Amino acid sequence: MKSNIKMRLLSKVFQPLITIPKNAKIKSTEVTCKSQKLLLECGLIRPTSSGLFAILPLAQRAMDKLERHICKHIEAAGAQRISLSSLTPASLWDKSGRLQEMGPELMKATDRHGKQYVLAPTHEEAITDLLADVGPLSYKQLPLILYQISSKFRDEHRPKHGLLRARHFTMMDAYSHHASEDCVLNTYERISRAYRDIFEGLGLKVYRVEAPSGAMGGSLSHEWQAVAEAGEDSLTICQRCQHAGLEAKCPRCGGEGEVVSSIEVGHTFVLNTRYSSPLGACYTDAQGARPPLRAACYGVGGSRLLAACVEAGGRWPRGVAPYSALLVPPKEGSKEWQQLGWSAVEQVYSQLSVLPTLRDDVIVDDRCDMTIGKRLMQANRMGYPYVVVMGKAALESPPRYELVCESSTQLLTMPELLKTIDTIDHGNMAAEKVTA
Ligand code: ATP
Ligand code: MG
In a domain, 387, yes or no: yes
Q: Is the CB of 168 under 6 A from ligand 1?
A: no
Say yes or no: 253 and 119 in one domain.
Answer: yes
Amino acid symbol at 209: V
Give the bridge partners for 296, in sequence order: 176, 270
Kindly report the protein residue whose alpha carbon is nearest to atom 6 of ligand 1. 267
What pLDDT does residue 212 have? Answer: 85
Q: Is the CB of 304 under 6 A from ligand 1?
A: yes
Query: Of 262, 289, 313, which closes a domain?
Result: 313
Residue 214 CA: which ligand is closest? 1
CA distance 137 to 291: 11
Half-sphere exposure in the Cβ direction for 226 (13 Å, CA): 27
CA distance 374 to 431: 34
What pLDDT does residue 430 have? Answer: 72
Say yes or no: 302 and 174 in one domain.
Answer: yes
How much distance in Å is there from the Cα of 231 to the middle of ligand 2?
13
- Residues 200 and 432: beta-carbon distance below 8 Å: yes
Say yes or no: 106 and 132 in one domain.
Answer: yes
The closest alpha carbon to 123, from 66, 179, 171, belongs to: 171
Say yes or no: 83 and 215 in one domain.
Answer: yes
What pLDDT does residue 436 have? Answer: 42
Terminal C-alpha separation, the chain: 46
DSSP 330: P
Q: Is the CB of 329 under 6 A from ligand 1?
A: no
CA distance 204 to 435: 13
Say yes or no: 381 and 416 in one domain.
Answer: yes
Query: Of 284, 313, 342, which closes a domain?
Result: 313
The tens place of each residue's pLDDT in the chain, 436 residues long, gives: 555 679 999 999 999 999 877 777 666 567 889 999 999 999 999 999 999 999 999 999 999 999 999 999 999 999 999 999 999 999 999 999 999 999 999 999 999 999 999 999 999 999 999 999 998 999 999 999 999 999 999 999 999 999 999 999 999 999 999 999 999 999 999 999 999 999 999 999 999 999 987 877 778 999 999 999 999 999 999 999 989 988 888 888 988 899 999 999 999 999 999 999 999 999 999 999 999 999 999 999 999 999 999 999 899 999 999 999 999 999 999 999 999 999 999 999 999 999 999 999 999 999 999 999 999 999 999 999 999 999 999 999 999 999 999 989 999 999 999 999 999 999 877 766 554 4
Helix-strand-coil percent breakdown of the chain, rounded to 5? 35, 30, 35
Q: Is the CB of 70 under 6 A from ligand 1?
A: no
In a domain, 6, yes or no: no
Question: Which numbered atom of ligand 1 lies nearest the CA of 269?
Answer: 11
Q: Is the CB of 422 under 6 A from ligand 1?
A: no
Q: Is the CB of 169 under 6 A from ligand 1?
A: yes
How much distance in Å is there from the Cα of 384 to the middle of ligand 2?
31
**Residue 107 belongs to a domain with what CATH number?**
3.30.930.10
Kindly report the protein residue whose alpha carbon is nearest to atom 26 of ligand 1. 165
Element (H, E) at 334: none
Q: Is the CB of 121 under 6 A from ligand 1?
A: no
Give the count of domains, the chain. 2
CA distance 30 to 50: 10
Say yes or no: 379 and 399 in one domain.
Answer: yes
**Residue 341 belongs to a domain with what CATH number?**
3.40.50.800
Kindly report the protein residue whose alpha carbon is nearest to atom 21 of ligand 1. 301
Q: Is the CB of 102 under 6 A from ligand 1?
A: no
Query: Of 288, 313, 338, which closes a domain?
Result: 313
Q: Is the CB of 51 under 6 A from ligand 1?
A: no
Contacts of 284 (CB under 8 A, 6+ apart): 136, 137, 138, 139, 290
CA distance 271 to 415: 55
Say yes or no: 163 and 208 in one domain.
Answer: yes
Say yes or no: 264 and 370 in one domain.
Answer: no
Q: Is the CB of 35 under 6 A from ligand 1?
A: no
Residue 217 CA: which ligand is closest? 1
Say yes or no: 88 and 209 in one domain.
Answer: yes
CA distance 168 to 156: 9
Element (H, E) at 166: none
- Phi, psi at residue 290, to the nearest 5°? -125, 75
Element (H, E) at 370: none
Kindly report the protein residue whose alpha carbon is nearest to atom 23 of ligand 1. 301
Q: Which domain holds residue 377?
A: 323-435
- Phi, psi at residue 109, to the nearest 5°? -140, 150
- Phi, psi at residue 5, to the nearest 5°? -105, 155
Please give the C-alpha separations between residue 426 and each of 157, 356, 375, 420, in angstroms, as whole numbers: 44, 11, 28, 10
